Structure 1
Amino acid sequence: MSADSTVPAAGRLSTPFDRRLWGAASRTGVPTSLLEAYEVVGLERGEQLAFETVICEDDPLDLLFGIDSGFPKVSNGSSSLMRIVNSDGDFIVASWATARKGVFHISGSVPTSDRRWMLVNRAISRTPEVMRCFLNEDMFRLLARKIKSIGRPEVVRMSAWRQSDASSLNRSWPVKADSYRYTPDDVFDFAHKEGTSVRSLTVSVENELHCHLRRTSGATFYSGQFQAFVQTVLDAFAGYSSERLDLLSNRQRVVDRPLGLPLTINLAENIFTSTAETERLRRFVEEGQQTSVAVLHDNPYLHLMVTDHADGSTFDVVVTSPKAVDIYPSFRSTAFSLSRLAQRISEQFSAEGIEESTPRARVSLDDLVGAG
């Protein structure tokens, strides 16, 4: 959403929360933290806040919308508010630095289903310098389990994805007077029995918290103890994102050094059992923005050379197992480009996790990986 002469004149902010937040920032300055913002502005009955946790090196709002976007912006240190002018009603997008270097929470008070928040999500998806963290499944499960520190969590709704037939599974559990609803662990076990991968959970913790959790390091706070939500859910997202950044950084090949272990995407089931399935992976990778693919080998194993033209990064993508994809960064590769590639594949093929590979018997690396 770059600057141009078509940006309309600012109108009325569409939510009471945004009006309070913008007004407070205009009077006394932008709050220095998310918790301070909540203390200053508060949340009234029926209001909600959506969050996306992202990794980037600079102010995410400038990266997402452009320094010269024409949208009013106010900042205080590493906290920023941007007023997005929109025909459906103006709204505020905020960014809050976390205790983890390079990790920010982006927040807004319009629902995630609103097409204005969809603009934010699209901006995140198309901005090479900003990346989400698609959580490993065990991390997502652990995150949901952490909520037990607040009280007994019950799952209200679940959405999951079945890779075998590319179908979704959505379940909800009504309140029962004589018993509890499923816990997050119950729901993960249920999803596994159904052959699905959990993508989101709506969780209620007695009268203490009601929130929605997304595996793409996002959440929505509906009601309850906001400080507990920040310290339990958002701080966990920030920690996992920082760990992912560490995993993806400094993995490029170095001249005169042995080739390191690849980054491995572990899948939940045997998917790449035929050339038709590996061809599906090739086509999917090729559909990435500013991406080109060269096929170096396609039978009996798959070996792709992938170039990200956004920053010139190159990677060898290799499939020698029916339930794993290996990525070897080349001499020029960045953490952000590696993240885009690995996390797109992970989401599409319902990966259990992304991790550094452990040594295992495989086809010779000299055969699989080219000179660069």
Structure 2
Amino acid sequence: MSKSNMIYLEGDFIEDYNGIIYDVKGFEHPPNKVVAYPRYIPDPKGDRRRGNIRYRKIYDLNERYEFLRKRLKKYIVYDPIFDTNIPEIPVEDLLRHYNPRETLLKLLSESRSLNRVLSDIISLVNYIIEYSGISYDNIGLSGSYMVDLYRPDSDIDLIIYGDETSKAVIKGLYEMYEDSVIRRYSLDELHSLYRFRKAYKISFEEFKYIESRKPFQGIFHNKEFYIRFLRSLEKYHKYGYLKYHNLGRLHITAYVTDDSESIYTPCKYRVEVLSSNPSYEIDLKKPFYVVSFRGRYTYSAFKGECIEAEGKLEEVYRDDEVIQYRLLLGESYSDYLRIVRYNEYQSHNI
């Protein structure tokens, strides 16, 4: 398959001819381009090595943009569909496309000769298969392991593909916690996560409450793991099907009316807006969603809870008509989501 005809998904990585490795964001990619952010960059002082080349990981979004502005400014373009400046990598500049499912299948085929670090990944995957009943075809391995830049302490980043598959895995994870196959973060580990994410717009107690409810992150064999869930491919729109218009910053208080898409990437909460600041002339009869492509906002609020959130307000168009609004979280450290009234009838049902 030619590079221009490949399907690039959230969780995939791409590598350009400069040796820079990017993580693919989202599912809406312009023709012959991929929306992606630099993740591993060649650096003589880097703490990771692949072959004879040292690499450094960059995670902070501001640092990623700064790197592109200095090294590859041409990749940052204004995209009229998203109404923002965004990194778009031309497929003609790509050396390689990394696929999480292919990575895991390759690892499984070599399972008898793996080191302890990689064997732990296979062990976790096998437990997930056992407890959820899904097949190996519906799970992938992303992150540093996919590009052979892992360290002994690297997190295990897994991806689950498909709606029903995702629900089965969530259910299985709760049972894995009950059977002590995996464990939740300790208080010290949550403090570390709070600092790493720079989640200072909410208190640590609020952060702890939200993160402690999430079943898809924790510790397995003294190693952190994180699992992302992607919907079936047909549920995602292609580039240009929808168009987004930036209206500016917005703070809202809202009631969560639907959390059925909160486990996926992007996570999505339908809400009823109770108050907002500043006030925009918008039609509140149209659907309003809180949306994020950042994992930190996944499964953060449940139906029946009242939230405060701040982010970028966008009109969402289809055929020149506004069909909904969304508050997009995750592009700024000023963005946040906090719960101001809890749902006392929480359950594990998805």
TM-score, normalised to structure 2, is: 0.30
TM-score (norm 1): 0.28
Higher strand share: 2
Q: Which has the larger radius of gyration?
A: 1
